[in-house]
Chains A and B, each alone.
Chain A
Amino acid sequence: DADVTQTPRNRITKTGKRIMLECSQTKGHDRMYWYRQDPGLGLRLIYYSFDVKDINKGEISDGYSVSRQAQAKFSLSLESAIPNQTALYFCATSEPRPGTGELFFGEGSRLTVL
């Protein structure tokens, strides 16, 4: 089984719908991240969490919210999806300081908003 698991892997939805992407990990890492990938733009950070009580906005948090339900679970929500949120979303984890910052990724969730 994968160390970082994302569900769903693929989702097609309509504008205005609420969507939740879920992430769970078995690596025991405190730090978790949500990234968005668009063609030609690389990965952009949406939100990150350094522990259950610590949640921080990334560079593109508008239109998104997150919930850290437990050390192992970090969910990303789109309250009212819009077409330009169509993208590939990745959850990731990393070791705490003084770790090297290597990210361990889930397999990605492809979201299409019609």
Chain B
Amino acid sequence: AQKVTQAQTEISVVEKEDVTLDCVYETRDTTYYLFWYKQPPSGELVFLIRRNSFDEQNEISGRYSWNFQKSTSSFNFTITASQVVDSAVYFCALRVDSNYQLIWGAGTKLIIKP
């Protein structure tokens, strides 16, 4: 069975601090994809990144970076120099090749205080 765990229910930091959101996944499949989505207070779901299981390169996009480590089954998300606009709920999700469905974590609510 597949599972995604986001152990941090809520994180609160002051603006300009760096913050890391953890995501741990479980699967026995060797081919899979990992995703991060952002849900701002307005409610829509915004795609952030997709990573396949054969590509362990870390990725950086502006202030956002992702650390994929197969050895620990983790796909963590770091925001550098956080801003108030980063306040949102962030979801990590997993899709395995044998089952086309996305398995979602429960989400981490990130609060950035000015």
Contact = CB atoms under 8 A, between A and B. Distances in A.
A73 to B, nearest CB: 20
Interface residues of B, number: 18
B43 interface: yes
A45 B50 CA distance: 20
B33 A43 contact: no
A90 B106 CA distance: 16
A104 B35 CA distance: 12
Interface stretch (B14-22, B64-72, B79-87, B97-105): B97-105
A75 B107 CA distance: 26
Interface string A1-39: 000000000000000000000000000000100000000
Chain A contact surface mostly: strand
Given A101-B95, A101-B102, A103-B102, 15 more contacts: A41-B106, A42-B105, A45-B101, A88-B43, A97-B100, A100-B50, A100-B95, A102-B35, A102-B47, A102-B50, A103-B47, A105-B45, A107-B43, A108-B44, A110-B43
